[in-house]
Structure 1
Amino acid sequence: MVLSSSWKSRHKRRGCWVGPGLAALLWFCVCTQFICAVRAVGETPNVVQKDAEFDVTYNDTVTSENQTIYAFNHTISRNKTEGVRVTVDVLSQNLKSPILFVVRQQQAVLSFQVPLILRGLYQRKYPYNHVGRTLCQPPTRAISETQHFFIDVSTLSSQGTNYQLRVSRVESFTLQTDKKFSFTASPSQPQYFKYIFPEGVDTVIVKVNSDKTFPCSVMSIQDIQCPVFDLDNNVAFLGMYQTMTKKGAITVQKKDFPSNSFYVVLVVKTEDEACGGPLLYYPLRPDELINAGNRSKILDVMVSQAINLEVYVMGMLFCMGIFLSFYLLTLLVACVENKRMNKKREVFESPADTSPAETGQTPALPYEYGSFLDNGSTLSSEAITDSATSTDNNYGYMGQEPFKRRPFLNHLHHIAIRIERSLESVGRSRQESLSSVEEDDYDTLDDINSDKNIVRTKKFLCVSDLARKDKRVLSKKYQIYFWNIATIAVFYALPVIQLVITYQTVVNVTGNQDICYYNFLCAHPLGALSAFNNILSNLGYVMLGLLFLLIVLKRDIVHNRAMVRNDVSALECGIPKHFGLFYAMGTALMMEGLLSACYHVCPNYTNFQFDTSFMYMIAGLCMLKLYQKRHPDINASAYTAYACLAAVIFFSVLGVVFGKGNTVFWIIFSVIHILATMLLSTQLYYMGRWRLDAGVLRRIVYIIYTDCIRQCSGPMYIDRMVLLVMGNIVNWSLAAYGLIERPNDFASYLLAIAICNLLLYFAFYIIMKLRSGERIKCLPLVCILFTAVVWGFALYFFFQGLSTWQKTPAESREHNRDCILLMFFDDHDIWHFLSSIAMFGSFLVLLTMDDDLDNVQRDKIYVF
């Protein structure tokens, strides 16, 4: 080829001239590309397009040299929605290359291969030769419209592959409200249906049921759009979804779907491990590959209308009304009691000009419990006068006669007491600051430290023996319980609230309904909360805890006023009044309600300790209060008590995380449980007058030798021994049960240990109170009976078990049940109502059970 000089000179001037060799190379490349294109056109497979019809089965063969296109015409109507389903069967075996099916619609493309390969856990592969898919239906604005879609069938296999193709209409594609529809699904044949919100309906519940537990299934709610994610490996990409075995339910709100409609997608999983079932073996042989796909399941779906706004309002008013009635009842009882006291005061009130010697009243100094006579008895003039003029209150131990004096001797003794108190008060400033009070500086007796071993080892102790320390010291000591638990509550609640808000946000954003263990058949959403009713029902803990604090505050004020006016009954009679533990108990009850509500925002495996932590504290505080009533001087300090409770919560967390089936953990916990029981028993039996040091084993052997072998004498403190023996039997039995059975719910097991010990000690206290000649007044007796009945009903509803985080979410949903109260509250909500009332009643029992001792001298009240 010769290039002209003009052409050459022109391109030289433009800077792009090429030589003759390069030009020849370019022509060669162009020719080569032309020859390849011609050859490729010659190898293009033969494309055959067929006009196809619905409900006709097409048997055909496909190879790499031919391709078939099936053309369908589909008429859709705006008033009637019909689904289109494509079903494909591959008849050939041992395929080297799969067949590719591509469905081309006007607004979507769906493609799948046969055999369909689905992956399970650890990337296990499961092939399916029978595939059925439903085509998505884009919305139409026209009254009637004809749409065209095409199905392309192709393969890269040179061998002929036989297949069957059938396209049919799904007549029941749209679900009706309150009408059950049954169908069959499998991993390769998922199903989905459309639901349109009727006018006036804002929320519905989609319920799916099955008679078979397995195979495991997935229920999904998706917006109307293409494509629809209806396979095991993509169903979680859009909308809300949850695994299910026999039951599944999702509450759907109209505001979340702009088109006022949604798809209900049902997919059967390739494996059952997500639902707690066995993991399938890995298929190896070709026949096993085929049989791996036999996982069909019959499902029933029904969409029903959820509750409306009126039910929400009724539920909230009902909840508020129940607990406000306790406020009204408390106010009524307080008015009646105040009226009764005023009448009593009018009858027994002395004239204003009567001298103290005539009335028998002693202007005792504040913050003192009374004078100690030579015989160690604490006497007050009021108590002496009462005992001289009345024989109604016969408080003795084992039939002991009451203390009596004649009125003339009472007056003389009253004058002696006033002189003695005046001498003792010299040098002590009554305006001394409480902040400077130290426990060791203000013992009533100077030699209290050396006297402890003598006083506390007497065979029969009175409250006066264990109420010697200054009231200011003890009040300050027990107020620490309240301030510590208030501090704990703030630092505990803030991160808990933040965490559960994050949980709820994750659920709302991802749509994963397996994160939280609700009772989905009775979970009523409100705003961002998925189960508002479970949160609302915890209101009782907060309101009744606040009411208890108000009752304690009222009693505290009345007692302080009595102390200011030098009331001898307040100074020297009855159980010493210390309200710090009561304040801590009321605060713990309120915090239990708050943390239980936080737990029920998203109940699951990781935050269950939120619901139980303050239950442990409530049980521990109640036991401490029972012990404090008769042992005010030697009760545990707040720091020790909360440290022990922290250890309990620590073991609770360890048990939840590591306790399931862990033999080593259960052995260690059982040993610690038994050792702690023995140490606590020793502490209670000897009233703290023992030492844990290197010589403790030698002293134990010596006591066993002298008391059991040498002289075979019985225990010195029989009552305490009976209690501790029973306590050890109960705790050793619980430890053995835990070691043998290893319950999955370790937190509830630990709570059961605390409750059993509390009930045992409470029963012992009541029995010993009656055995000591004391009585129970009407109000605490009514509280005891009422609380026992309410606890019984509460435990019945607790053990209904509507959900459990010990199992998989799908297995937990098998326990779900419908609402039983006002169409708004379920069994667990009723447990919240009744348990809060029962706890409030239990606190009232602790507060009032010793009111009969308010006018009894402390040296007449026995310790047990």
Structure 2
Amino acid sequence: MVKQEERCEFLFRLGYVALLLLCVTHLRCARAENKTVVQKYAEFDVTYNDTVTSDNQTIYAFNHTVSRNKTEGVRVTVDVLSEGAESSPILFVVRQKQAVLSFQVPLILRGLYQRKYPYAHVGRTLCQPPTRTLSETQYFFVDVSTLSNLGTHYQLRISRVDSFTLHTDKKFSFTASPSQPQYFKYVFPDGVDTAIVKVNSEMTFPCSVMSIQDIQCPVYDLDNNVAFIGMYQTMTKTAAITVQRKDFPSNSFYVVVVVKTEDEACGGPLRFYPLRPDELIDAGNRSKTLDVVVSPAISSDVYVMGMLFCLGIFLSFYLLTFLVACVENKRMHRRREGLLNPADMSPAETASLLGKPGVTPVSPYEYGSFADNGSTLSSEAITDSIASDANYGYMERSLESVTGRSRQESLSSIEEDDYDTLADIDSDKNIVRTKKYLCVSDLARKDKRVLSKKYQIYFWNIATIGVFYALPVIQLVITYQTVVNVTGNQDICYYNFLCAHPLGNLSAFNNILSNLGYVMLGLLFLLIVLQRDIIHSRALDRNDLNALECGIPKHFGLFYAMGTALMMEGLLSACYHVCPNYTNFQFDTSFMYMIAGLCVLKLYQKRHPDINASAYTAYACLAAVIFFSVLGVVFGKGNMVFWIIFSVLHILATMLLSTQLYYMGRWRLDSGILRRIVYVIYTDCIRQCSGPMYIDRMVLLVMGNIVNWSLAAYGLLKTPNDFASYLLAIAICNLLLYFAFYIIMKLRSGERIQCMAMVCILFTAVVWGFALFFFFQGLSTWQKTPAESREHNRDCIVLSFFDDHDIWHFLSSIAMFGSFLVLLTMDDDLDDVQRDKIFVF
């Protein structure tokens, strides 16, 4: 019973609503019958002053001749002269052959937070439908109506736009405002497949939008709809879009310029918030003078030249390396011949082969000479020892006695824990590492095969990390590029739009191509390391005494990891430049942290092979750095809490690392650490005021702490927006500090830097200088808005294909390759020096 009553009540209400709608419709029809419709035949370039009310409607009829060979624009300009027209605006409807354009005056445009801006002066350009005949007459009508009972006075003017078509390489100036957008037509001439549309202005604000749209009606030329189709950019002073003919079936397009109602999109100030939701805000004068020019882009020949130029630069390093290897091989061959026939050599040549005083060659296949207790062999003795099989067999037996292990035993499987955890070995570690002056032999006591496996883990781990890191990165940047191509929003990616050459779906192919150097030079470095590794392995297989007991212990795992990291840096930098922005900048910097960390570890490993960090510990620390890099990008901008936490952790990490380096790992982080610190301070500083035992290490650590504490203070006070670059600066500063310390201590210890290493150092320093010059040109920056970033855009400087940042890619890849060569060759002068005569620092 209740349901039936509800159903009846519902039907009654529905009938009541239908009756009301019928009455309203009847009233409107009756009123429409009383409305007066006036049609006027109007002319171009004549201003019509008229008044419109709810009782009358005016229709203006226009006709004009359209020619296929000449394109003219038609512009409608309207002014409302009555006060209070915002409450009852006038509706203008332009009816054309293939399109209808309608707008109200005053025109209400909305900004941020739905703020309303009224414009009483409106100018719109009519779209041009295509013509099928050579010449035809087209008609269009302008309907003017309103619902206001009071008369509203307006002015209407229809005019022709003679300069509606843009010409190649010819600048055209115009003025636009939010209610008076402008657009022009460009037709691709024969032989031009790609063009660059550049819009410039002397005025930074008001903020504007430049859009490229296909020839169709309607044309989206208002602030609230300009982003609906085509490609678009916000702009302050500069905007540039590269347009390809294949994207426009009609071989032509519209260049649309719209002035925004507010400037926040371009980094301008945020205007006040209205007190009432329906409050109208006076927009003021927002007219902007601009000029547009369309230029042909580069041809396919320039693409080919750019790719050949890039390949030629880096293939030349392969050729140079091959020539150096040939020269070195020839020198070693002559050296071997000299060792076999010392009687045919001059005393000076014999002395040069024997090396330093007190050095005796023991094998025709050795790298250098082996220092004994001061005696030297005569030329006859050298010849006899080399020529005699019996003497050579005696030499092998003596090598076995030196190494303390037979050849068969050395090839067996030995784990580090088999001897490293014994009590006597552990106590020996403590005794050795607390000596005032350490030699490399003191810290190269572990089995070489165990250490080789330990350091090879660096290579395999970074290769695994690279694969798992790169695959999602590639997928993400492809998605970014797809979003840019589909939406047309070119504010997503921060390119140098004045030198961004597309290829396929890639918007800036030149920025990607220039990263090829990292990959090619990283591969070349791996080949150089492989060659040295093979030579060293052969020397160990024949029990070469020089390779066993002389020089810095050669472990190549970290070098392999460095070369792999350089290749991965090139791949990830290319991925970043597919669509550079602040959300994926860590792709470009992650392996830079890796490279800096691996270089520091390699420098430390040279003199401390037994106590260097394991791959797992090192990569865990680098993972923590990358983690903080991501946090800094997401939360670091203006967040003082984040900067305080990071600065405290930075200082604590510096202190812990300093303790690790000073005591060479012979300390423990446990509950008794504070008690031991107080005891050391009391005994060494208060009770007897003794100086540090390890002066050199203390100087390095004091300088390192000063630098890191200063960087932490700078970050806390300035809170830079680019946290990833700030973190990278910390890593580079520590690397340079340690490298300078290493070179200074090497020279202080009486060691020398060979010619090849010195050439690499000087060459690398010069290349780094030029590279940094091009890096700081700042062609774009995601720390600002896209419109502000485009103010820094510049034209290409090399082959009309590469810009300053591409040159940075070229030079920095060469500089990194040179830096790796420095680390590889800087201790070659010690290859014939016993390890108990090489100091640790």
Q: What is the TM-score with the length of structure 2 in the denominator?
A: 0.90
Distance in 2 between residues matched to 1:442 and 1:361, nearest whole Å: 33
CA deviation profile, 1:470-520 (whole Å, cap 9, x unmatched): 001000000000000000000000000001011111111111101111000
1:418 maps to a residue whose letter is S
Give the one of 179, 194, 199 matched to 2:170. Answer: 179
Residue 421 of structure 1 pairs with residue 409 of structure 2: no
Amino-acid identity (%): 84
Distance in 1 between residues matched to 2:230 and 2:834, nearest whole Å: 72
1:202 alignment counterpart: 193
1:611 alignment counterpart: 588
1:297 alignment counterpart: 288
Give the one of 90, 101, 105 matched to 2:92. Answer: 101
**8 Å contact kept, 2:369–2:832:** no
Distance in 1 between residues matched to 2:316 and 2:714, nearest whole Å: 42
Query: Per the alignment, do residues 419 and 226 of structure 1 end up closer, same or farther by CA in structure 2, a change over 3 Å counting?
Result: closer
Query: Per the alignment, do residues 47 and 223 of structure 1 end up closer, same or farther by CA in structure 2, a change over 3 Å counting?
Result: same
**8 Å contact kept, 1:62–1:160:** yes
1:371 alignment counterpart: none
Distance in 2 between residues matched to 1:38 and 1:464, nearest whole Å: 105
2:337 alignment counterpart: 346
Query: Per the alignment, do residues 287 and 506 of structure 1 end up closer, same or farther by CA in structure 2, a change over 3 Å counting?
Result: closer
Residue 325 of structure 1 pairs with residue 305 of structure 2: no
Q: Which runs of 5+ in 1 are unaligned?
A: 1-28, 352-358, 367-379, 391-410
Distance in 1 between residues matched to 2:632 and 2:481, nearest whole Å: 26
Distance in 2 between residues matched to 1:734 and 1:423, nearest whole Å: 48
Offset, 1:154: 0.4
SS in 1 for 2:166: coil
2:495 alignment counterpart: 518
**8 Å contact kept, 2:515–2:570:** yes
1:738 alignment counterpart: 715
1:425 maps to a residue whose letter is R
2:608 maps to a residue whose letter is H
SS in 1 for 2:580: coil
Query: Per the alignment, do residues 415 and 810 of structure 1 end up closer, same or farther by CA in structure 2, a change over 3 Å counting?
Result: closer
Query: Per the alignment, do residues 845 and 42 of structure 1 end up closer, same or farther by CA in structure 2, a change over 3 Å counting?
Result: closer
Give the one of 372, 383, 402 matched to 1:384. Answer: 372
1:198 maps to a residue whose letter is P
1:809 maps to a residue whose letter is P
Instruction: Map residues 232-631 of structure 1 onto 2, 5 A cutoff.
Output: 232-282=223-273, 289=280, 291-349=282-340, 382-384=370-372, 388=376, 418=398, 421=401, 424-425=404-405, 429-433=409-413, 437-442=414-419, 447-631=424-608
Offset, 1:439: 1.0
SS in 2 for 1:291: coil
Offset, 1:44: 3.2
CA deviation profile, 1:282-313 (whole Å, cap 9, x unmatched): 45699994732521111111111110011111
Distance in 2 between residues matched to 1:254 and 1:749, nearest whole Å: 43
2:120 alignment counterpart: 129
2:44 maps to a residue whose letter is F
SS in 1 for 2:118: strand
Residue 212 of structure 1 pairs with residue 206 of structure 2: no
1:374 alignment counterpart: none
**8 Å contact kept, 2:115–2:281:** no
SS in 2 for 1:639: helix
1:141 alignment counterpart: 132
Offset, 1:61: 0.2
Q: What is the TM-score with the length of structure 1 in the denominator?
A: 0.88
CA deviation profile, 1:64-87 (whole Å, cap 9, x unmatched): 111110001111111111100000
Distance in 2 between residues matched to 1:577 and 1:752, nearest whole Å: 30
**8 Å contact kept, 2:116–2:278:** no
1:47 maps to a residue whose letter is V
Distance in 2 between residues matched to 1:138 and 1:738, nearest whole Å: 59
1:846 alignment counterpart: 823
Distance in 2 between residues matched to 1:687 and 1:100, nearest whole Å: 84
CA deviation profile, 1:388-407 (whole Å, cap 9, x unmatched): 369xxxxxxxxxxxxxxxxx
**Greater CA drift, 692-701 or 554-563:** 692-701
**Greater CA drift, 700-709 or 174-183:** 700-709
**8 Å contact kept, 1:443–1:470:** no
2:173 maps to a residue whose letter is S
Give the one of 82, 92, 104 matched to 1:92. Answer: 82
**8 Å contact kept, 2:106–2:119:** yes
Distance in 1 between residues matched to 2:250 and 2:152, nearest whole Å: 43
Distance in 1 between residues matched to 2:38 and 2:638, nearest whole Å: 64
Residue 826 of structure 1 pairs with residue 817 of structure 2: no
Distance in 2 between residues matched to 1:144 and 1:419, nearest whole Å: 101
1:609 maps to a residue whose letter is Q
**Greater CA drift, 536-545 or 210-219:** 210-219
CA deviation profile, 1:698-719 (whole Å, cap 9, x unmatched): 2111211221122211111000
Query: Per the alignment, do residues 543 and 43 of structure 1 end up closer, same or farther by CA in structure 2, a change over 3 Å counting?
Result: same
1:782 alignment counterpart: 759
**8 Å contact kept, 1:126–1:293:** no
**Greater CA drift, 266-275 or 36-45:** 36-45
Residue 68 of structure 1 pairs with residue 48 of structure 2: no
Distance in 2 between residues matched to 1:429 and 1:74, nearest whole Å: 102
Distance in 1 between residues matched to 2:828 and 2:409, nearest whole Å: 32
Distance in 2 between residues matched to 1:427 and 1:85, nearest whole Å: 95
Distance in 1 between residues matched to 2:399 and 2:324, nearest whole Å: 42
Distance in 2 between residues matched to 1:547 and 1:431, nearest whole Å: 31
2:47 maps to a residue whose letter is T
2:84 maps to a residue whose letter is N
**8 Å contact kept, 1:127–1:293:** no
2:780 alignment counterpart: 803
Residue 169 of structure 1 pairs with residue 146 of structure 2: no
Offset, 1:720: 0.5
Offset, 1:350: 7.2
**8 Å contact kept, 2:360–2:371:** no
2:146 alignment counterpart: 155
Give the one of 62, 68, 77 matched to 2:67. Answer: 77
User: Of the two, which has the highest radius of gyration?
Assistant: 1
**Greater CA drift, 89-98 or 660-669:** 89-98
CA deviation profile, 1:177-196 (whole Å, cap 9, x unmatched): 11111111111110000000
Distance in 2 between residues matched to 1:42 and 1:580, nearest whole Å: 90
**8 Å contact kept, 1:442–1:470:** no
SS in 2 for 1:650: helix
Alignment RMSD, CA only? 2.5
**8 Å contact kept, 1:562–1:570:** yes
Offset, 1:729: 0.5
1:720 maps to a residue whose letter is R
**Greater CA drift, 287-296 or 553-562:** 287-296
Give the one of 20, 36, 39 matched to 1:46. Answer: 36
1:388 maps to a residue whose letter is T
Distance in 2 between residues matched to 1:154 and 1:764, nearest whole Å: 84
**8 Å contact kept, 1:363–1:566:** no
